[in-house]
Amino acid sequence: MNMIESIDGETRFFHGPGSFLDTRDVHNDVYGYISEQVRINPNVEINILAHSRGGHVGVEVPRSLGTDGVALENGTTIYPEVNFLGLYDAVDMTPFYGAWSQDIPSNVNNAAHAMSDPSVGSRPYFNTVDGGVQDASATNYIEQLFDVTHGGIGGSPWGGDHPRGMTQERDIAGAQVAYDWIVQQASNAGLDINPTGRTSSSSNPNASSVGDPTGKHVKP
C-alpha cells in the first residue's frame, strides 16, 4: 500500500532531492503546491509525509508556511498550520538549507519521526534531523527507533545499503513495523485509515509526500 495514495482528497507525491543541490527546488515545489491548495480552500487540512532528505524538506516547508505565509487573492496573508507531519529517517545532508536548530516549527500540530536504530549501522554518515520541536506545548511529537535500514524505513527494504548483521527478512519485517507505526500516529492525528486502504479525514485533507530519489515511499 502506498500511504499517500490511500488518503482521500487532494494528494501529491514529490521525488525527494537527488542531491543537496536539488533541495531548495523541491522545497519551493512543495511550498508552491500547498500554497495553491490553501488559496483554493484556506481551511484545507495539510498533512505531510517525508523520507530521508525529503524529510528535511518536510520539516522546513511548514516553517515557510509559518513565517512567509500564503498570500490570498484578497490581499491578505494567512499562516497555515500543518495537521500531521510524518517523517521517515529524515536526514540533513544539505549545507546552508533550513534552520540551524532543525526543530519542528510550532505550526505543526502533530509530528511523528520513525528512525532507523543507530545500532543497525545503516548509512551512519547521515546526520539525522533531530532538533525536536520548537514548542512542546504546541506540537504533539513522538519519535521511535526501528530495527530497519534507512532504505527499508522509507519503503524500499533491502533496496539500499546492507549493513553487516542485517538480513533481508529482518529489513522487510522492520519496514512493515515502521510503516504500521506511522499509520497509527497518523490515525491518532485524525486521519482515518480503514481496512480497504482508503483514508479520510475530518476536514478536506491535503497530503504531500516527499520521498527518496527512487520514489519508493510505499508499504513493502
* Domain assignment of residue 21, yes or no: yes
Residue 198 belongs to a domain: yes
Q: What is the DSSP string of 54-67?
A: HHHHHHHHHHHHHH
Q: pLDDT tens, 161-175?
A: 999 999 999 999 999
Amino acid at 54: G
Domain annotation covers residue 124: yes
Q: Does any domain span residue 219?
A: no
pLDDT at 215 over 50: no
User: What domain range includes position 45?
Assistant: 3-210
What total number of domains does the chain contain?
1
How high is the pLDDT of residue 5? Answer: 56
Mean pLDDT of the chain: 85
pLDDT of residue 131: 84
In a domain, 216, yes or no: no
Is 115 among the domain residues? yes
Highest mean pLDDT among 4-8, 17-21, 26-30, 91-95: 26-30
Residue 20, C-beta contacts closer than 8 angstroms, at least 6 positions apart: 53, 93, 94, 95, 97
pLDDT for 15: 87
Torsion of CA 50, 172, 1, 210, to 10 degrees: 10
Angle of helix 53-67 versus helix 23-40 axis, rounded to 10 = 50
8 Å CB contact between 16 and 208:
no
The pLDDT score that the predictor gives to residue 130 is 82
pLDDT of residue 213: 32
pLDDT: which is higher, 56 or 70: 70
Rounded Cα gap, residues 179 and 194, in angstroms: 15
- Give the span between the Cα atoms of 177 and 173, in whole angstroms: 6
128 contact partners, CB below 8 Å, separation of at least 6? 89, 90, 91, 92, 115
Pairing of strands 77-78, 70-71: antiparallel
Q: For residue 21, what pLDDT band results from cuts at 50, 70 and 90?
A: confident
Q: For position 103, what pLDDT does the model report?
A: 92
Percent of the chain at pLDDT > 90 equals 65
The predicted structure's pLDDT at residue 19: 78
Q: What is the pLDDT of residue 51?
A: 94
pLDDT for the residue numbered 99: 72
* The predicted structure's pLDDT at residue 164: 96
Pairing of strands 205-210, 45-51: parallel
Q: What is the pLDDT of residues 119-152, one digit of tens each?
A: 999 998 888 888 899 999 999 999 999 999 999 9
User: Is residue 183 a part of any domain in this protein?
Assistant: yes
Residue 206 domain-assigned (yes or no) = yes
pLDDT in tens, 66-103: 999 999 999 999 999 999 999 999 988 666 777 767 89
